[in-house]
Structure 1
Amino acid sequence: MACSEEYQMKFLNALEQARWHIRTLWIVIILAFVANGFAIVGWMHSQSKIQVEVPPQIPESGLTLTQGEVPKTTIYSFAYYVWQSVNHWSKDGMTDYKQQITQFSPFLTPSFKLKLVQDYNNLLNQGELQDRIRLMQGMSGSEYSPNDVKYVGHGTWIVHLKMRLTEMMNSNAKVVKDVQMVYTLKVVRYNVDAKQNPWGLAIAGFAASPARLKTIV
């Protein structure tokens, strides 16, 4: 009889331990399920794309990139490309200038676009657009330098462009303006529409008035 009771007690203890293990396993399963749920939610809300700007020249020592960091070369290339394009009139400034402002408006802040439209109207009233071709290119010997770009904080850069501006009459190819200029532009982060503006940048205006270095014509 004593053996039967002892056997029964061992069985009950083993059963209780088994139940305790089962409860522990259920707790572990629930915790794992909750953790996986948080992981799935975090994954669903994470960025599907990470944009990293890579400069055109990578040093031999290697390169450390940070998400969201924009190299100076990228800022300079953006400012150069957009400003040169806005100032390219292939046939007639009266139609081309306004068309270029509209075409490149995704790369201009609304306030700076308005100033360019005002500049267009001023030149139109002064008779300096009709039949005019305008070309803008970098000055000879003024290649990019890191000193041409300065980060001033809050997603803003100051860019110095040394450009040669040439204007001629389309009807007779007579050069009416040929000057060397320094344009000090303000470039800002502008993540508005990635489809129209994949750079995520915009020219916000002049940080200083354009300065004439030399008059050729």
Structure 2
Amino acid sequence: MSFKNILDTEQQASRFKTRIIFGQFLLMFIMALGWSSAPTQISLHYPPDLRSGGSMKVGEIHESEVYLFASYILQQLNNWKENGEIDYLNKVNILRSYFTPTYQAYLLRDYETRKQQGELRRRVRNWIPIADAVFEESFVEHVGKNWIVWIDVQIEEYINGGIVKSLINRIPMQVV
């Protein structure tokens, strides 16, 4: 084999490798464009609702999820185990990331008003979802980007072990 043939073979190999490298850079550029145009955050909601199964649209939120969320947050906020004067404010602070600033300000004003009137001292509150209440789509109303949720609860309040309030009520909550 002559020196010229060896040189031609090496030049061919070099051109081939250059084309491969150029192709890889082109592929990486196309992938980077696709990656940059992809959404930065995708929220998937999989409710325990057997009607829709596991096929969901991105960003779609079912009424059952909104109902469960609202019910859980209100139950956490309104269960005072030992002393409403301490527990109420603690719950507002713990759950503040779930509240709008307006609602949080309302809760803090409500706390101060009740504290000044002596309503919270040694008060225990049990917020119990009604056992017979089964989720119905009529409990959740979609209004624009928000929801109005109606939750059936039994509220029992005690002071020094004596019952002062026991009622069944339907409570509305706006979920933003």
**TM class, shorter-length:** 0.7 to 0.9
- Among the aligned pairs, what percent are the same residue? 27
**Corresponding residue number in structure 2 for 1:142:** 133
1:53 to 40, 45, 49: 45
**Corresponding residue number in structure 1 for 2:31:** 39
What is the deviation of 1:32?
Answer: 8.8
May I ask how many residue pairs the two structures share in their alignment? 160
Cα distance in 2 for residues equivalent to 1:142 and 1:102: 29
1:65 to 56, 70, 80: 56
C-alpha contact (below 8 Å) 2:147/2:175 kept by paired residues: yes
**Corresponding residue number in structure 1 for 2:162:** 174
What is the deviation of 1:37?
Answer: 1.4
Cα distance in 1 for residues equivalent to 2:105 and 2:167: 25
Matched, 1:76 2:76: no
Q: Which stretches of structure 1, 4 residues or more, deviate above 4 A after TM superposition?
A: 29-36
Q: After the TM superposition, which residues 1-217 of structure 1 pair with which residues of structure 2 at under 5 Å, given as runs? A: 36-44=28-36, 46-47=38-39, 50-59=42-51, 62-154=53-145, 156-169=146-159, 171=160, 173-188=161-176
Structure 1 unaligned spans of 5+:
1-25, 189-217
Larger relative helix fraction: 2
Tell me the SS of whatever aligns to 1:65: coil
Q: TM-score, normalised by structure 2?
A: 0.79
Structure 2 unaligned spans of 5+:
1-18
Bigger mean CA offset, 113-122 vs 42-51: 42-51
Tell me the SS of whatever aligns to 1:57: coil
- CA deviations on 1:61-92 (whole Å, 9 max, x unpaired) are 74530001111111001000000110011100
Q: TM-score, normalised by structure 1?
A: 0.65
- CA deviations on 1:136-161 (whole Å, 9 max, x unpaired) are 0112422211110121122x111001
Partner amino acid, structure 1, of 2:50: I
Decide whether aligned partners of structure 1 residues 131 and 62 sit closer, same or farther in structure 2, where only a CA change above 3 A counts: closer
- CA deviations on 1:3-56 (whole Å, 9 max, x unpaired) are xxxxxxxxxxxxxxxxxxxxxxx8xx9899657514313314534663311111
What is the deviation of 1:98?
Answer: 0.3
State the structure with more CA Rg: 1
Partner amino acid, structure 1, of 2:47: P
**Corresponding residue number in structure 2 for 1:210:** none
Cα distance in 2 for residues equivalent to 1:108 and 1:34: 48
Partner amino acid, structure 1, of 2:79: H
